[in-house]
């Protein structure tokens, strides 16, 4: 899947040029979402480890 061309729209009537950030990160930022089931500590731990090792290059979010 590729992103729509600039100004072409994203299917909901908005111009893609109007959508500049997602969760506070620029649109072209690579993002990782950590989600785990069965162990309440796993997701926060992997999120923090990822932040430590790659936070300068990636946008990092966790679902708790």
Nearest residue to 34 (alpha-carbon basis) of 46, 25, 49: 46
Give tens-digit pLDDT for 3-62: 555 554 455 555 555 555 666 667 776 677 777 777 777 777 887 888 788 877 766 666
The two three-digit tokens of residue 2, written as one number: 């590729």
The full length of the chain comes to 64
d(C-alpha 4, C-alpha 27), whole Å? 12
Task: Give 21-30 contacts, CB < 8 A, sequence gap 24+.
Answer: 23/59, 23/61, 24/59, 25/59, 29/58, 29/59, 30/57, 30/58, 30/59
Domain boundaries, the chain: 23-62
Write down the pLDDT at residue 2: 56
């Amino acid at each position: 899947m590729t992103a729509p061309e600039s100004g072409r729209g994203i299917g909901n009537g908005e111009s893609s040029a109007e959508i500049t950030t997602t969760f506070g990160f620029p649109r072209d930022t690579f993002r990782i979402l950590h989600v785990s089931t069965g162990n309440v500590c796993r997701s926060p731990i992997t999120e923090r480890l990822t932040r430590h090792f790659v936070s300068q290059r990636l946008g990092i979010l966790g679902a708790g």
